[in-house]
Chain A
Amino acid sequence: MNRAAPASTLENRLAAYYIAIGLLALGIGGLMGVLQALEHAGINLYPYLYPVLASYYHGLTYHGVMMVLVWTTFFISGFLIFVAAHSLGRPLASPGLGKFTFGLMVAGLLLAGWPIATNDATVLFTFYPPMRAHPAFYIGLTLVVVGTWLILLNLVLTYRQWRAQNPGVRTPLPAFMALVTLTMWFIASLGVALEMVAILIPFALGLAPGADPLLARTLFWFTGHPIVYFWLLPAYISWYTMVPRQVGGKLFSDPLARVSFLLFLFLSTPVGLHHQFTDPGVAELWKFLQAIFTFGVFFPSLLTFFNVTASLELGGRARGGRGWLGWIPRLPWSDPSFTAQALAMVLFAFGGIGGLVNASYNVNLVVHNTMWVVGHFHLTVGSGVTLTYMGILYWLVPYLTGRALWSRRLGLIQPWLWLVGMGLMSFVQHWLGLLDMPRRTMVGSAAYLPLRPDWQALLPLVGVGGVLLFVSGLLFFVNMVLTLAASREPAQVEIPAAEALHGPEAGPAVLDRWRPWLTVALALVVLAYGPVLGMLAASAAFNVRGIRVW
């Protein structure tokens, strides 16, 4: 499928538009991030930015919302539509619904973004009540979530059309994974949707006397942990179904890949309470049960680690690599797309190991809400996910625009600089967390900073790491903008589609059924969350009045 200009199909256009908005959010989020890192290092630029940024926390709200809600969701929406349509080899079942969904999500984003810009929603991306933001903030975010459901609906309809024409054929792996990702997210997002509709929107509009903060938090984290798999699984789609091709090898095992995605469907949601280990009002038994499930969800990531590494090894050996580790230098390190994703995997592995600490029922007491957690998610969503998405964009943007990447060299420097900057910043953040430094805090101005010379010694390194990371992000954006504006060469890009060494027919046909797996997923959610939510709802008191604290 080599071609200079790809067909201007609706799916390709939607992918391009969604991703463009995602990149805008990534840019804004990155600007905010470097300001925070500099503040930690003692360089407080906020006074010069007033009133664009009314406070550190105004910028922090931008950073969180833009990075983990907008950049991720919009990239994923575009990417999954693209992946499913190309892998099934057919257009979206409903082009009208596809366009409407895009419009709805953009409208939601504008609605939520406006009060953020005017400092009327400085509640961070977790928006815990009884802090009360402008109602448009909650309504807008809800519309974005509804948009993701409509994408699922459109892809399910598309899949059913494909299935009717291809009875008995195994679902192509990329489409299977896209559908599992969105289905998992649908189940997971019911929590935050209920929080919005039943608690926050009436509360913000003044229709309810107040909120029940604990019930709201519990519904938030019902969605708030599985959302990380909503971010991660699209990266895994690339690692499983595209990267093996990019390194000249094959996916080691297709059935094992399907099993791991189904395990994510089961285990992503009944784990959210591990974010609330330190919350009062939830009995220890339920926290412990969900700690067990959280360790369970580590298993499919271990399967992924094995399968992807084995696939890379197949590629490295096909390229002439010998010996135990000799295949590694033979991998295509001159390809920005591969290099970014390989380094994303390295950073993500450390993030995964740190995550086990967070999930550990009792050890979590040491790190909960400290900078450790900030270091953790900058390795996971900030690197494993974001650097992988960047790696995908190194081939996808040329594919969608028909223009060759402006600079391959810049595209190679960028991920290595990310590795160094993020490696330094997140390592120091983990360390500061072990020294009790709180997260979500303007720590350079903290009243208690003079009491902690140990923090003061480390904080400049957060600034150095953050600046390196910012420069890396800048290199990425320069490359993307110049690809659009200045690249004269036509792109010679194909969609990487990996074959499997151990193909889909090696697995049992039941892997392609939906009903049994959905039943298991819902049963686990009811088991882990039913009693907790039932008890909290039964004793709920919507009497905590809203307050503006910024």
Chain B
Amino acid sequence: MNRNNLSLYIYELAWILPSIAIPVGMLVAITLSAFALGIHLPGAEGRLDPAKLDSTPPFDRPGVRQVGPGRYEAVVIGQIWRFTPNEIRVPAGSEVTFIATSRDVVHGFKIQDTPVNMMLIPGQVSKLTARFERPGEYLLVCHEYCGTGHHVMFGKVVVEPAAQGGSR
């Protein structure tokens, strides 16, 4: 190998090593943050028959219920072109687990300013948990194309000041 080729190798190596280190470093940061902060993605929660939702718990009774001190469960059905229920009320400081599915086509489920972002797929159960500290209205939108009325499909999570408490 002549001198010229050697210097080319050195340039290449000087780029390749950081090019490996950068993605590896990012991956480590993501892994640590995901597991240290306990951030979860939707996982395998079991299947159901979307034609029989009305007789399949918990989707036979969509709505919000308290499951413990400061802990709520919101069971939501997406269908063209609405969410049932389309308003979810919880007191500030609650931890809410959203359990949702679709009655017909694929829908989206994203709540403003939270990490709740999931797909609703007919036949599958989607589940994510979020804490709501700040009172206010949080927009829930369908973010997957679901037909000509897609842009009217939305709901709200209403977080009430803690003193009032209560659930629907």
Which residues of A approach B to under 8 Å, CB–CB?
55, 57, 60, 122, 124, 128, 130-131, 212-214, 217, 252-253, 256, 276-284, 287-288, 291-292, 295-296, 298-299, 302-303, 306, 310, 356, 360-363, 365-366, 368-370, 436, 438-443, 445-448, 451-452, 501-502, 506, 539, 541, 543-545, 547, 549-550
A502 touches B5 (CB 8 A): yes
How distant is the Cα of A550 from the Cα of B19 in the complex, in angstroms? 47
CA distance A217 to B144 in the complex (A): 13
Chain B residues with Cβ below 8 Å from A253 are 8, 12
Chain A positions within 8 Å of B121 at CB level = 213-214, 217, 279-281
User: In the complex, what residue of chain B is closest to A276 when comparing beta carbons?
Assistant: B119
Q: Which residue of B lies closest to A285 (CB)?
A: B43
Query: Interface segment, B70-78, B87-95, B104-112?
Result: B104-112
Contacts of B118 in A (CB 8 A): 278-280
The 8 Å CB contact of B151, one of A279, A291, A299, A442, is A442
Docked complex Cα distance between A253 and B116 (Å): 46
The reply to whether B142 and A438 contact each other, CB–CB distance below 8 Å, is yes
**Smallest distance from the beta carbon of A88 to chain B beta carbons, Å?**
27
A–B complex contacts, Cβ < 8 Å, 18 sampled: A124-B145, A130-B105, A212-B123, A214-B124, A217-B121, A278-B42, A279-B119, A281-B45, A284-B41, A284-B43, A291-B27, A298-B23, A303-B16, A306-B12, A362-B33, A369-B117, A438-B110, A549-B146
**B11→A310 contact, CB < 8 A:** yes
- Shortest CB distance A540–B (Å): 9
A422 vs B35: C-alpha distance when bound (angstroms): 37
Cα–Cα distance between A212 and B48 once the two chains are bound (Å): 12
Give, as a whole number of angstroms, the nearest-CB distance from B20 to chain A.
6
When distances are taken between beta carbons in the complex, the residues of chain A under 8 Å from B166 are: none
| Chain B contact patch, size range | 35 or more
The docked-state distance in angstroms from the alpha carbon of A446 to that of B142 is: 11
Known: A280-B43, A295-B23. A366 touches B117 (CB 8 A): yes
A213-B121, A299-B23, A441-B145 given; name 8 further pairs at CB < 8 Å: A60-B145, A278-B41, A280-B125, A282-B43, A283-B43, A284-B40, A287-B41, A369-B144
Cβ-defined contact, B143 with A438, below 8 A: yes
Q: How far is the CB of B113 from chain A (nearest CB, A)?
A: 7
Complex contact A549–B110 (CB within 8 A): no
Q: How far is the CB of B2 from chain A (nearest CB, A)?
A: 11
For B37, give the chain A residue with the smallest CB separation: A362
A57 contacts B148, C-beta separation under 8 Å: yes
